[in-house]
A = this chain, B = another copy of it.
Amino acid sequence: MLPTITWENDAVVMIDQRKLPSKEVYVRCRTAAEVARAITTMVIRGAPAIGVAAAMGIALGIRASRAAGTRQLAVEFQKLCDRMAATRPTAVNLFWAIDRMKRVFAEQVGTGAPVDDIRQALEREAHRIHDEDVASCRAMGAFGASLVPDDARILTHCNAGALATAGYGTALGVVRAAAEAGKRVAVLADETRPFLQGARLTAWELVRDGIDTTVITDNMSGAMMRAGQVDLVVVGADRIAANGDVANKIGTYAVAVLAREHGLPFYVAAPLSTIDLATPDGDHIPIEERKARELTHVAGQRLTPEGAQVRNPAFDVTPHRYVTAIVTERGICRPPYTESLGAIVKGGWGR
């Protein structure tokens, strides 16, 4: 299993995703502030993974607390939650994980638990979020594999793999599960500018797993579909609104439009923690705009001339009408999503 994020005694350890695939460097975060910075600077990225990181960061911060009483601890806890919530705005898993930590904190305080017990309960919850995420990915894979025919050529965008989760992956979990079920699969990985998650991360983890992987530039996916080189698309998600609109890495929308133009299924694989029933539709999802430098420079070299402006929205929204199905750890949701997502989150099943 890929070591996306682990807890080692006094530190949260992450593989530095900015350096892959040329260097395998591990970052040891010894404070909550370091974890927050790692999320913001994309040492770790991917909606489920940053949820895990935020939970571990909070647990780490509380572990370091010198608060003698619950009241002081509550003040520090709130600050830690606020700090984590301020790292990145789009992936709802981050806020979901923080909410889980808040619920545990409130329960512990409600039962009059001493500070040490609260600390341990928060640490346990962070580990639980981590472990559940891996289990979710495995379950998603099992459901999603049923959508993948033998000899499938699968296009994916960004990295929704082991590196974007606690392990195994969402979209790449579907690919892995199909391969483990004995199906032959080949992956076309969009390189995914500007951060190049596809070229660097998706290709790296799939090649490690011996899965046939071809990297293309983002602007090739349409031509590949037209040439009959793609059988289906599967991507992850950063937030899914109640109506099924999907926020995901910038460029996902274009891939979805192209998939529909070519009559190809467009699947989204995401855990329930990505579904945000409180957000009615994609127009209400905050889209992070990141620094221009991510786009203007590669490997320290400036690409664009001085004087040219730059836009760098990190995500876009794919309206639900382009989404063939949403694969979760509880089953596969199909349109109308307002019904199927609501039912699956409340414990029912999709179709």
Contact = CB atoms under 8 A, between A and B. Distances in A.
Interface stretch (A64-72, A119-127, A300-308): A300-308
Interface stretch (A30-38, A79-87, A108-116, A251-259): A251-259
Contacts of A223: 250-251, 253-254, 313, 316-317
A196 interface: yes
A99 to B, nearest CB: 29
Contact of A222 (B213, B216, B316): B316
Interface string A304-332: 11111111010011000000000000000
Given A253-B222, A253-B223, A302-B22, A308 B213 contact: yes
A300 B303 contact: no
A90 to B, nearest CB: 13
A309 B191 contact: no
Interface string A181-203: 00000000111111010011001
A308 to B, nearest CB: 4
Q: Quick one: copies of this chain in the complex? A: 2
B305 A203 contact: yes
Contacts of A309: 212-215
Nearest to A190: B219
Contacts of A221: 254
A22 to B, nearest CB: 6
Nearest to A192: B219
B253 A257 contact: no
Interface string A157-172: 1000000000000000
B305 A250 contact: no
Given A193-B191, A261-B257, A301 B304 contact: no
Given A226-B316, A261-B257, A300-B299, A305 B207 contact: yes
Given A214-B310, A258-B257, A310-B215, A303 B224 contact: no
A217 interface: yes
Interface in A135-169: 157
A21 interface: yes
A74 interface: no
Contacts of A189: 308
B254 A191 contact: no
B298 A216 contact: no
Interface of A: 21-22, 157, 189-194, 196, 199-200, 203-204, 206-207, 212-224, 226, 250-251, 253-254, 257-258, 261, 295-296, 298-311, 313, 316-317
Given A207-B307, A222-B253, 10 more contacts: A22-B301, A189-B308, A191-B295, A194-B217, A203-B304, A212-B309, A214-B309, A215-B295, A217-B295, A223-B253
